[in-house]
Amino acid sequence: MLDYTHVDGLSAADVTRLRAVYEPLTGSVRELIDATIRTEVGADVVAAAKAEIESATARLRAAQKDGSFGIQFGADGDSMPWGNAVIGVRNPTAPPLLIHKDPDGAARSDFYLGAAFEGPPGHVHGGVS
């Protein structure tokens, strides 16, 4: 169930600060996903990496939300759909989108989809070409 939460007192500056904290983490996890898919290192390196990942996961789980991330709203009403699978800046399964909004209301984005999005030849999952 999607949770819509108004976060009292979360200013636009707070949202910008939080984005600067969490968006690079998301990018690092995207890189980890790609490396996991394409690596050819030996079992000893995989075991060491797995231990490091488990340690990092434990540190991140030390303080986390219960349930889904949902859509949060700052004090100014701006939405933060950061867990979204398409545009979530805190969701490493979301493509790394930089969305450009035109004055006429149109939006566009250019992005690169790596091995995690691989589908049939010449396509990604979902039939996107």
Whole-model pTM: value is 0.82
Q: What pLDDT sits at residue 59?
A: 98
Mean pLDDT computed over 93-122:
88
How confident is residue 7, by pLDDT bands cut at 50, 70 and 90? low
Residue 26 phi/psi, 5° resolution? -60, -45
Q: List, for residues 59-88, the tens digit of each pLDDT value.
A: 999 999 888 888 888 888 888 889 988 889
Stretch among 20-34, 90-104, 109-123 having the lowest mean pLDDT: 109-123
Q: Which comes out higher in pLDDT, residue 23 or 73?
A: 23
DSSP 21-90: HHHHHHHHHHHHHHHHHH----HHHHHHHHHHHHHHHHHHHTS--SS---EEE-TT--EE-TT-TTT-TT
How confident is residue 33, by pLDDT bands cut at 50, 70 and 90? very high
Tokens, residue 86: 């398409």
Q: From CA 43, how far away is CA 85, in angstroms rounded?
A: 31
